[in-house]
Amino acid sequence: MTTTHHPRPQTAAQVPAVPLTTEGYSVLHQMLRLRWPAWRALPASEKSAIAQEASEALAAMEEHSPGQSALYSLIGHKGDLMLIHFRNTFGDLNQAELQLANLRLSDYLEPTTSYLSIIELGLYDSTLKIYKELTDQGIEPHSDQWKSEIECKLNRHKEAMHPRLFPDIPPHRYACFYPMDRRRGEDKNWYQLPIEERARQMNEHGLVGRRYAGEVRQIITGSIGFDDWEWGVDLFADDPLVFKKLIYEMRFDQVSAVYALFGHFYVGVRVPAAKLEQLLSGKLPE
């Protein structure tokens, strides 16, 4: 008996597996350790002058437009300070780094880590609708017409979502930052799931976050190709307990329980630039 094998359809004509995204501000997190022994050894007048110079520079960066910077006092051993910078371009982020490196305070700071990413909105639901609409019109995936149609639709979405893509840094007292990946190992691989299933799981995941909308502000950044993890997550709230509750509840989602991997967590207290000298004297501003 002869078995006839039918060839699989060419993948080039199939709907792409990659979800569409729109991007906004470039983002840099800097975690720094203060060399306390060297700092304490300075005369009080010199410490005051150095702190004043840094305070004035950071105050200007807080008000920078477009994009801002914010300073946090880190809790725990992973560093003393965390700076978050939102800017239009990576070049602008590098300029912020250079500006800080030229302050006299930088002589007493050591970087512990950093994270480079870009604000990202994942568009799973919209992607499925757009791909279906284009394929129903008989437009070949990845063709010039396909790319042109998608670019047009993404530009409209980016305009509509401008406040979410280019936000101010939330003013809340506490910030929590962590990087994360989607599992792509031998047993479970997020990237081999059908796009429809990924969309379903991400929609379920998003429902949890929306329940905390009044208590916490979440900003997701994409870092594939920019840093060691795939995404960064910033949470901002006036009560840090909400970080635990939100992240714990999300762990029970399928997408997190099965496919999520997490990096180190960094939690800090917001410090206005004007209060930097008080912080460097060992007193956390109220």
Q: Return the minimum-mean-pLDDT range out of 146-155, 197-206, 257-266.
A: 197-206
Answer yes or no: is pLDDT of 233 > 70: yes
**pLDDT score recorded for residue 111:** 97
Two structure tokens written together for 70: 């914010």
The average confidence (pLDDT) of the chain is 91
Q: Report the C-alpha gap between 97 and 89 in whole angstroms.
A: 13
- Reported confidence tier of residue 13, pLDDT bands at 50, 70, 90: low
185 or 231, which is more confident: 231
Residue with tokens 């520079």: 57
Q: Return the minimum-mean-pLDDT range out of 63-67, 121-125, 228-232.
A: 121-125
Q: What percent of the chain has pLDDT over 70?
A: 95
Answer yes or no: is pLDDT of 283 > 70: yes
Q: Are 85 and 61 in contact (CB under 8 A)?
A: yes
Q: Are 280 and 73 in contact (CB under 8 A)?
A: no
Cα Dmax for the chain: 95
pTM metric for this prediction: 0.89
Catalytic residue among 72, 115, 178, 212: 178
Express each pLDDT in 170-222 by its tens digit. 999 999 999 999 887 768 888 888 888 888 888 888 887 788 888 999 999 99
Q: What is the DSSP letter of 236?
A: E
Instruction: Verify whether residue 248 is a known catalytic residue.
Output: no
Top-tier CATH class for 24-119: alpha beta
Number of Cβ within a 10 Å radius of residue 131: 19
Residue-wise DSSP of 47-88: HHHHHHHHHHHHHHHHT-SSS-EEEEEE-STT-SEEEEEEES
**pLDDT score recorded for residue 268:** 98
